[in-house]
Each structure stands twice: as C-alpha cells, then as structure tokens.
Amino acid sequence: MIFSIDHIVFAADAAESTDLRDSLAETGFQREEFTLEFPEIGATSESLSFASGGFVEFVVGSDRQLAPEVWFADTPRVIGLGFSSNDFAADTWWSSEPRAWVMNEDHLLPDGSRLTIHAAGPHEHSSEFYVFVMDRPDGRLQFSERTDGPRLNRLKFTGADADAWEKRLREWLRLPARKGALLAGQVELTFDAGDRPGVRISPVFDAGQNGSLPLSASAIELVARGGSGSASGAEDRER
C-alpha cells in the first residue's frame, strides 16, 4: 500500500539550493547529514527533513554535460515526487513495462554509514517531472524519528498537464480520492488545469507562520497551523 509521500525532489543551481535550504532551515526544517553523490549523471543532493519523517531533496548538477538537461533547464522547481510503499511488489506492478525503471543503489553517507535505495518508477526517469515509489517495508520513512517542525499537508499540481497527472497517479499508484483530491496518507494532491504548458507542483506545509518561497512558476507554501491551506502573498517566479 502507498502510505505516505516519501520525499520531494527539487532541481536547483548551487546558489538556489543554498538559499532555499537556508530559508527552510529557518522555518523549522531539519538539515540532515544525507549528501548523495550521483556521478553517473553528474549531480549531488542535499536534504532537509520535516515532521512525519519525509524530506525535501535538492539536486544540483555538478557536471552539466552529464546532468539531464530537462531537469535543470528551468530552476528551481519540483522535478520528482516519491511515494512510500510497504508492499513494494504490489505497488510497482508496472515495473516490467518498457518505460518503467528500477533503482538498486548503495550510497556512502557523510557519517560513514551506508544507505541502500530500492525504488521504481512507472515512466521515464529523465523527464521534466517524474514520480516513483520507495520501498519502505516496515512502514517507516527515512527520518521517522522526526516528529516536530513543518508538516506536509498538500501538493498542488497546476498547468495544462495537471488533469493528465491526476489520471496517471490514479492508474499507476491506485491512490484513493476524497472531495476532488487524491490522497497519499494524510497528504492531499489537488489538480488545477491552466494554460501554462506542462505541470508545476507547489508543496504546502503546516508551519508556525505564513509565507512563501518562490520557485519557477510555483512556490513552497508555508501556512500557520489551523490556516486555510494556502499561503498569503505567494508570488511565482516566471523565467
């Protein structure tokens, strides 16, 4: 069963990654010793966790000749969305199909420990936006000890392809629906078609304040707990 949003992947240049991570840390996100190296695609990533154990991952292209151009052509923005599964085989029923991919990787973390990643996606990994499933057989997220700080409550999909993504997520992940939204555990996924090509994703977090961190044509939204679920004064960065 898909039981949670696992993590959100952002593409950014080095300065954008630093600025966004600094801003998130100031609002209660926890910096983690979780640097990952991806030499085959010329990229590295840094992460911060939030309440419930999920995390935001900022990927920077360290070698632009190797890094997928489609990820870094328009930054900063959400390029990937991971879902947590406690029944990986059942939830990746499409893994043998031609467009699907499976990842089995071992990484050495800064503290000397080793991390094994077991994940799969139902469509091309090197896409402008991609989704994937993480194998969490014990039902625990990467930072499950994290109980305080901002908490993800919504992911807003906007753009001309928003409706198509709703259909894909229903089909691939069999997510339940409630009042016009899809559900991944306690997180709502909403879809608003518009004239802008493609799709952009705005994560919305319950936090101790209202605010907005601009992304390319979307934003990371922070909402004071008990608020309406959308940050006031959000301004999208158009490029």
What's the predicted TM-score (pTM) here?
A: 0.92
Tokens of 137: 């057989």
DSSP 201-238: EEEEEEESS-EEEEEBTEEEEEEETTS-SS-TT---B-
Q: Is 174 inside any structural domain?
A: yes
CA distance between the termini of the chain: 38
CATH number, domain of 89, equals 3.10.180.10
Q: Is 120 inside any structural domain?
A: yes
pLDDT at 62 (0 to 100): 82
Distance CA 228, CA 206 (A): 10
Q: Is 170 inside any structural domain?
A: yes
Q: Is 238 inside any structural domain?
A: no
Q: Which residues of the chain have pLDDT under 50?
A: 228-239
Which residue range(s) make up the domain with 107? 2-139+148-224
Using the 8-state DSSP alphabet, how is residue 121 labeled?
E
Residue-wise pLDDT tens digits, 54-63: 999 999 998 8
Q: Is 173 inside any structural domain?
A: yes
DSSP 156-174: EEESTTHHHHHHHHHHHH-
Q: Is 231 inside any structural domain?
A: no
Q: Is 239 inside any structural domain?
A: no
pLDDT at 93 (0 to 100): 97
Q: Is 230 inside any structural domain?
A: no
pLDDT at 233 (0 to 100): 35
Q: How many domains does the chain have?
A: 1
